[in-house]
Structure 1
Amino acid sequence: MNHNTPLSPRPLHHLSDSRRRVMTAAQLRAHGVSAAETDAQCRPGGPWQQVLPGVYLLHPGPPTSEERLHAVLAYAARETSSGVPAQPGGAEPERPPYPEAMITGLAALNLHGFAAVPPLPALEHVDVLVPRPRRLRSAGCARVLRTPDLPTPQQRTGLPVAPVPRALADAVADLVDAAAVGRLLTEAVRGGHCEPAAIVRELNQARLLSRPHVVDAVDALLAEGRALAEDRLYRMVREYGLPDPVWNVDLRLPGGPHLGGLDAYWPEHAVAVELDTRAPRQGHRQEDDALWSEYVRKREHLERLGITVVHITPKKLRDAMAQQATVVRTALMASVDRDPAACVLVLPR
């Protein structure tokens, strides 16, 4: 017995079709195929081929897009000690897990269903995300990206894929065309994949907000996100039967100072809604802190005047609209038990 001989070989026909087509050297050894046999199968004109270091395509001809993605993940994933993931009861999985690896960048956005990205066969390389300590180099069509904090992957067509904000940041890092960046960011928001703030956070962490074409796209994105959030707020009031407020108003004390703008206000109840569409930006910490301080100052001032302010984020409006409607309805109903609010002027914004 040598180091290439598994203790209990398992024939390849026990594997599912997708598992049979792409396998690592360690997985082949675990199924009784020695390194010498693998090399023989991969000779010119042979039935197998090596597509990445230690990763084999078990048929001749070019790989399909699915096989290419599996090959990249197999190359980047951390192998188990046997080369084959342990299964309860010894059963083979329908799809192999890929520990500490996930597809990101344009390939991930394609799997998320983005229309503004090239088809998978047109991509020169596939980005794969791994933890920073991994000692792994890019090879062939696999481009390895490292991160100190590996996100929780999402499953798309049975493959681990980076969440949209992270995949966007990795894709944008390669793009120099402002229009292409803008199309991706806009589709992410309009398509309901994520909120602008989540995208800006990832672009911040990737240090991409120092690039003028990215900043321009982000400015357009925030305007787009604001408009979508306002539309959802209108829909919430309508669909959940809330009383009609006055929209987009400024409040002032009679003969006194400006109190601030509000997205919706119910004067007879002294209840206001303000959309929190802030998105932190790299190198703008003081501005971000000042903006938050202004939010807090305005809210505290209005509440001292007897006005209840409900802060709602675009994400909460998207994911939990019914809950937000209940919060607003509760505030409106509670107004009868509060002392009358100070008299304020309501002006169009």
Structure 2
Amino acid sequence: MTRTDLLDPLLLLGADQQHIVTRAQLRRLGVPSGTIAHRLRPGGPWQQVLPRVICLQSGRLTPHQRLRAALAYAAPKGRSARPGEVLLTGEAVLTSAGLPSAGHPADLGDVDVLIAGPRRVSDRGFVRIHRAAGPLPGGFERDDGLWSTTVARALADLVPREGGRRRFRALCAEAVQRRHCDLGELLDQLLTRPGALALPQVAQAVEDLTAGVRSVVEGEARELVRGAGLPEPLWNPVLFLDGRFLAVPDAYWPQACVALEIDSRAWHLRPADHERGLARANRLTAAGLPVVRATPVQLRREPEPVLRELRTLLATGPHGPHARIGWRRAR
């Protein structure tokens, strides 16, 4: 094979796969082992990034190259993975989904990969292996050509390695709030994982999500309300006035017709969401419902004035158009 014959397919392979290849692919192209070794020499144009996985360029890998290299490493030896045979999961999926608490893809440390249980492959380098108890769940091909689990499955696979209760609660709430997964789908993934409910971070997330909590700050407010001995409100219910949609407050006590709105730019998805939150509180007030407003800082540092106002309103209710207000729980 001439040098031109050799380089043309390599250039094509590198372009299709972001310059990430396996030794098996190189051998199938007829690249001699001596050539591979020479190009992998210190200071050479190629680099070994994982066992059996080579990058056809030097320098730091891009975030996409690291994901592709992890999938290539976890594929069965001697061949490329078939579509859906090896899947990204855990942090790799959550950062790509854009969940704020997951961080930026460029800052991803280890790459989580899901494989079928019986295969013999272990953690290596920046790759963390997860094993499916049965057949691999249905994955999907992303826009970048990589195969991934769903966000709900990625959260469930993260459970054994994520001990932070606050962060896990945030990830679950963000996934549901941003509609990356349905609440039922996420609960199914968490509740069917053996022993998961015995873990405090999972138990807390499941309890909050089931109650209707959709953000970390709402979860903290829920803890505050319960700790103060106040009745449990509905979280994020859909309210109707005379059968017509009114608003979705952060919390609502139906027996007293009192709403709680937590005002914070930091916890809304976009600046426009903050403005909609203010408009929502104004609609509730215009309809005659008393609305207690608070910020996350108030709830954390000086909650007593907020709790005192809630106690007074709850004790003196029902208020406003109580009989005209209907509601539906958060989904």
In structure 2, what is the Cα distance between the partners aligned to 1:47 and 1:29? 18
In structure 2, what is the Cα distance between the partners aligned to 1:197 and 1:84? 34
Residues 139 and 149, structure 2, Cα contact 8 Å, conserved in 1: yes
Note if 1:146 corresponds to 2:131: yes
> TM-score, with normalisation over the residues of structure 2?
0.60
1:166 Cα deviation from its structure 2 partner: 0.7
In the comparison of the two structures, how many residue pairs are matched? 224
Residues 87 and 113, structure 2, Cα contact 8 Å, conserved in 1: yes
The answer for the alignment partner of 1:29 in structure 2 is: 27
Note if 1:213 corresponds to 2:213: no
CA 1:13 to 1:177, structure 2 compared with 1: closer, same or farther past 3 Å?
closer
After the TM superposition, which residues 283-298 of structure 1 pair with which residues of structure 2 at under 5 Å, given as runs? none
In structure 2, what is the Cα distance between the partners aligned to 1:238 and 1:61? 60
Tell me the C-alpha RMSD between the 2 structures.
Answer: 3.1
1:197 Cα deviation from its structure 2 partner: 2.4
Which digits, 9 at most, give the CA deviation of each residue in 1:287-317, with x for residues without a partner? Answer: xxxxxxxxxxxxxxxxxxxxxxxxx9987xx
What one-letter code is carried by the residue in structure 2 that aligns with 1:219? E
In structure 2, what is the Cα distance between the partners aligned to 1:222 and 1:139? 37
In structure 1, what is the Cα distance between the partners aligned to 2:206 and 2:84? 33
CA 1:234 to 1:166, structure 2 compared with 1: closer, same or farther past 3 Å?
farther
After the TM superposition, which residues 117-266 of structure 1 pair with which residues of structure 2 at under 5 Å, given as runs? 117-147=102-132, 148-156=134-142, 157-206=144-193, 207-224=195-212, 230-231=237-238
- Structure 2 residue corresponding to 1:13, chosen from 11, 14, 17: 11
The answer for the alignment partner of 2:89 in structure 1 is: 104
User: Unmatched 5+ residue regions in structure 2?
Assistant: 215-233, 246-253, 256-327
Instruction: Classify the secondary structure of the residue corresponding to 1:173.
Output: helix
Residues 98 and 104, structure 2, Cα contact 8 Å, conserved in 1: no
Residues 10 and 32, structure 1, Cα contact 8 Å, conserved in 2: no
User: Which of structures 1 and 2 has the bigger CA Rg?
Assistant: 1
Residues 87 and 147, structure 2, Cα contact 8 Å, conserved in 1: yes
1:16 Cα deviation from its structure 2 partner: 5.8
1:132 Cα deviation from its structure 2 partner: 0.4
Instruction: Classify the secondary structure of the residue corresponding to 2:131.
Output: strand
Instruction: Classify the secondary structure of the residue corresponding to 1:62.
Output: coil
What one-letter code is carried by the residue in structure 2 that aligns with 1:109? L
Give aligned-pair identity as a percent: 36
> TM-score, with normalisation over the residues of structure 1?
0.57
In structure 2, what is the Cα distance between the partners aligned to 1:15 and 1:234? 58
1:9 Cα deviation from its structure 2 partner: 10
Which digits, 9 at most, give the CA deviation of each residue in 1:38-97, with x for residues without a partner? Answer: 111101010001101100011111111010000001111236x7x468xxxxxxxxxxx6
Instruction: Classify the secondary structure of the residue corresponding to 1:50.
Output: strand
User: Unmatched 5+ residue regions in structure 1?
Assistant: 2-7, 86-96, 240-247, 250-311, 316-349
In structure 2, what is the Cα distance between the partners aligned to 1:42 and 1:145? 30
Residues 78 and 100, structure 1, Cα contact 8 Å, conserved in 2: no
